[in-house]
Structure 1
């Protein structure tokens, strides 16, 4: 593909139709030709940060195979731009496209910490681990300025409530002081996503994320400071990063990770069209091979939504991937395990010092 036609710094290369809208928007060739003749950019490719004010911030997770009971997201949309991201589809509920809009229209929940504290103060609430970034990354670039994730961590620390984090951004180290304080009472676990050791692969899959080297350094620093880290080899994409499972497992074990988890890529909803367009433009020499191998993992489709099989797939290629992960765990994580977080302190701190006088 001609590099001039690639939208730099973005994963998606188009805005797909929002399934909830009757009308659609498209860029016509005559408009692009007009912009070319006039020396104008047809697309400014700028990120917009838009404040939103939801009434709640913590969501009950009903899916039985995602490994969490509650999640919260400080941002909707994610500037990291990971081409495979399952969260893209959720942007349609906000009136945007799952394609470029997901990366360039970031909805910011400035009141997140207040909403969280209101929940934790409720008499009916009982301590269960809340996962930050169940949908979009809480340490995406917007967090550098807004600091909403840090504010929420301060609330978790105040109430001694367990929290888990999923991220692929080294910005998490900014909050090492709070993470260490939470770790003293076994109230924190961190999940770092690392999909490749190859920087070229990382750059095209996840254009605005921390480098692979930086993520390994992040795992090392967190681990050295007593913060338990699970590394997510997710997603595994056949013929893109599937050959890296053992090297990845070895590398993250050596820097202190206590466990690895994985999923096999599935292209649900609008992501199938977005990913197909992207790979045919970005990796045209192997596009059809990769797409067919993904289909092989999901019964002939790019997506399988059945609980129990959708995450790890089925068929020969999926079996090879899953067997490699099992081997990696036996080889590099035999005597390691992530701890269960502490839920016993929250009740004492729920009402602050008032509980001491009851």
Structure 2
């Protein structure tokens, strides 16, 4: 169980220095002692929503092993607080820490629907699936207030453009009407991330995400309405959820998923320090074991940027994990797969209506 001093409802337990800044902010013990004596709260642990104004919204993905060519992110930072999240490093580009700032300073792109519409109407654009979101969850808590993802889905529907969604939040069901309309023309594929069947594990790994029960129910409801779902068993972390691969795959199949995907955890950039601090506070009895097993999957280091190897790992433990996933596919998903999305309709709808000639 997490220590009593853990920051409630957060994954990261500290703010690491931003690698792009010479100066850093430190919460000193004498300041904390002063706050305690004065009866003041040193850290209110509140989430801030900060509006930003990007000039573009669709990103060309250059990494060859992430399974997408284009992505867009309505939000930067993510209140879900998943401790292992690779997107944490991107918060440094905005001037914040990859630690607590990533979970508590959420950047809001209100102009995303307008920017997306302009992009889809470009004469040079040829339809290809765009993924929401390649970086941070498009259905994180901020979506309840801002509904930017909903507005973007309506743009995709208007222009009959294919879209992929990655989320671990059951809030996606609030947009079931739009998703069903997209599915009629084979324009939508959904990826639901489920990393464990244990609520105790979920709470400490992903503190502000939907419960496992709700996520599985989301898979079922989407599948029953003809919306194809891939369950991402990702990341797999040795000695934390690696023993759950077969049960997770069976549950995904039982609830109607068309396929499963997986990655082995890698802790690049600032994430290595954040994760190490977290696991020593949260799972002190197995911290060194987990860290060493992660290192064994990545050539002896927590940081692995090698294309082709970074997602699947190497070595005996990685081999066992990959073999279990392969066995799971053979056992529970034989003859099933995600359909290719329809890229043929968009050209006729670039002006918002079907061309007559």
TM range (shorter): over 0.9
Structure 2 equivalent of residue 61 of structure 1: 61
Structure 1 equivalent of residue 159 of structure 2: 159
Tell me: CA distance 1:204–1:354, structure 2 relative to 1, closer, same or farther (3 Å). Answer: closer
Q: Structure 1 segments of 4 or more deviating over 3 A?
A: 1-4
Contact 2:231 2:261 in 1 (8 A): yes
Q: Give, in whole Å, the separation in 1 of the partners of 2:89 and 2:15.
A: 12
Gaps of 5+ in 1: none
Structure 1 equivalent of residue 282 of structure 2: 282
Contact 2:65 2:307 in 1 (8 A): yes
Alignment of 1:309-328 (within 5 A): 309-328=309-328
Shift of 1:304: 1.1
Q: Give, in whole Å, the separation in 2 of the partners of 1:167 and 1:222.
A: 13
Q: Give, in whole Å, the separation in 2 of the partners of 1:129 and 1:353.
A: 20
User: What is the TM-score with the length of structure 1 in the denominator?
Assistant: 0.99
Alignment of 1:169-318 (within 5 A): 169-318=169-318
Q: Give, in whole Å, the separation in 2 of the partners of 1:340 and 1:181.
A: 17
Gaps of 5+ in 2: none
Structure 1 equivalent of residue 333 of structure 2: 333
> Alpha carbon RMSD of aligned pairs, Å?
0.9
Structure 1 equivalent of residue 83 of structure 2: 83
Q: Give, in whole Å, the separation in 1 of the partners of 2:253 and 2:306.
A: 31
Q: Give, in whole Å, the separation in 2 of the partners of 1:316 and 1:40.
A: 51
Q: Give, in whole Å, the separation in 2 of the partners of 1:320 and 1:205.
A: 22
- CA displacement 1:195-247 (0-9 Å, x = unmatched): 00000000000000000110000000000000000000000000000000000
Shift of 1:3: 3.7
Q: Give, in whole Å, the separation in 1 of the partners of 2:341 and 2:2.
A: 50
Alignment of 1:346-357 (within 5 A): 346-353=346-353, 355-356=355-356
Structure 1 equivalent of residue 139 of structure 2: 139
Q: Give, in whole Å, the separation in 2 of the partners of 1:249 and 1:303.
A: 27
- Match of 1:234, SS state, is strand
Shift of 1:353: 3.2
- CA displacement 1:5-56 (0-9 Å, x = unmatched): 1100000000000000000110111111111122221100000000000000
Alignment of 1:87-126 (within 5 A): 87-126=87-126
Contact 2:235 2:262 in 1 (8 A): yes
Q: Give, in whole Å, the separation in 2 of the partners of 1:251 and 1:182.
A: 26
Q: Give, in whole Å, the separation in 1 of the partners of 2:112 and 2:54.
A: 9
Q: Give, in whole Å, the separation in 1 of the partners of 2:122 and 2:330.
A: 43
- Match of 1:63, SS state, is coil
- CA displacement 1:325-358 (0-9 Å, x = unmatched): 00000000001010000000101111233722x4
Give the total of aligned pairs.
357
- CA displacement 1:245-271 (0-9 Å, x = unmatched): 000000010000010000000000000
Q: Give, in whole Å, the separation in 1 of the partners of 2:135 and 2:156.
A: 19
- Match of 2:355, SS state, is helix
- CA displacement 1:120-153 (0-9 Å, x = unmatched): 1110010000000100000000000100000000
Shift of 1:2: 7.5
User: What is the TM-score with the length of structure 2 in the denominator?
Assistant: 0.99
Q: Give, in whole Å, the separation in 1 of the partners of 2:24 and 2:112.
A: 33
Contact 2:132 2:164 in 1 (8 A): yes
- CA displacement 1:289-309 (0-9 Å, x = unmatched): 000000000010012100000
Q: Give, in whole Å, the separation in 2 of the partners of 1:164 and 1:68.
A: 9
